Amino acid sequence: MLNGTVENIAKNTLLYSFVLSQPFALYTGAYPIFENKTLLDAEELEYGDHGEAVRILQYKLNEMSYYDDKVDGELGVLTEHAIKKFQRDHNITMTGLADKETIYALIEVEIETHIKRLESLSGSVYPGLQSEDVRIVQESLQYFGYYEGEIDGMYGPLTKKAVEIAEEKHDIDFLDEAPQQSLSTMYESEKQQAAASVKTASKQTSIKNVSIKNASNAAIVQTAYAYIGTPYVWGGESPGGFDCSGFLQYIYHTHGVTIPRTVSDIWNFGTSVSAPSVGDLVFFETYKPGPSHAGIYVGDGKFIHAGLDGVEVSSLSESYWKTRYLGAKRIGR
């Protein structure tokens, strides 16, 4: 999917030549792709190092849920542990050293995430639209340095210009104008497609063999199945991409149920149950103490959740989840 090496992509931005001649403070946070240059130039970061490159490393690891501590620019034990977890998940020797291979992999994952975002939302945004999807697209366009405007969710001239650049560089086709069908027609069509997906998914699972006492539980599970394959996006809370709690909040919201945004708050919000029933939430302790990941129980010892590989169904009996399981909660409806 990526065109050329990560280094070439990192340097192939509209303002790169400008950045080379400016103090880092002038562009930090504004165009994240430029921060990659600092990491690439560092080449290797190890325990005890400190500075801007370490801060950027910590921030990126935090965005990917590997690091959950203060972004202070000091490469200590927790940062080293986060590096090892990232290396483990990406088949890199677990040294805790942010060497060139690790830095390239980190940037590559980040770049690929943004490209997938643009691809997945290319058919839902168009000139004149104001929406959350437009805001997400703007963020990814800004990441590559294509978009220089405010992240406001409004598809105006600056967004259109940035989209055209992305289309050329990444071979992505965006809509040129609003679809002819009305929004209500689009919504009904999406509902029908989701229902069809759910019907197929239900036939392929043991959910149909589970006794479901509350019809709303079944509806929640069915809606969740319709989004299998949706990519994981840190902070994502729409069909363009979900993180784990964003996925839960979105699914429940479609059924008129409001739940908190974070996993820990959802844990405190729900009512504990000794064993999960279909539609209950199951919680896990992953990258930090306490509940940090959750999914919807679908029966037969399985749950659906937004993992790093996207929305998928996993088994509670898998060693990774079994050793991290905290318990189940029921959301009052």
Q: Which amino acid is at 67?
A: Y
Name the active-site residue from 50, 90, 255, 293.
293
CB-count burial class (<10 Å; 0-12, 13-18, 19+) for 260: middle
HSE-up (13 A, CA, CB side) for residue 38:
21
Residue 50 annotated among the catalytic residues of the structure:
no
User: C-alpha angle with apex 140: 19 to 159, nearest 5 degrees?
Assistant: 90
d(CA 254, CA 244): 16
C-beta neighbour count of 248 within 10 angstroms: 27
Residue 293 annotated among the catalytic residues of the structure:
yes
Name the active-site residue from 81, 244, 253, 255.
244
Token pair of 233 as six digits: 């996006």
d(CA 155, CA 152): 9
CB 47 within 8 A of CB 76: yes
Name the active-site residue from 81, 253, 255, 305.
305
Q: Which amino acid is at 282?
A: V
- Coil vs helix vs strand at 11: helix
User: C-alpha angle with apex 109: 108 to 115, nearest 5 degrees?
Assistant: 85
Tell which residue, 204, 164, 180, has the closest CA to residue 299.
204
Residue 305 annotated among the catalytic residues of the structure:
yes
Q: Enumerate the active-site residues.
A: 244, 293, 305
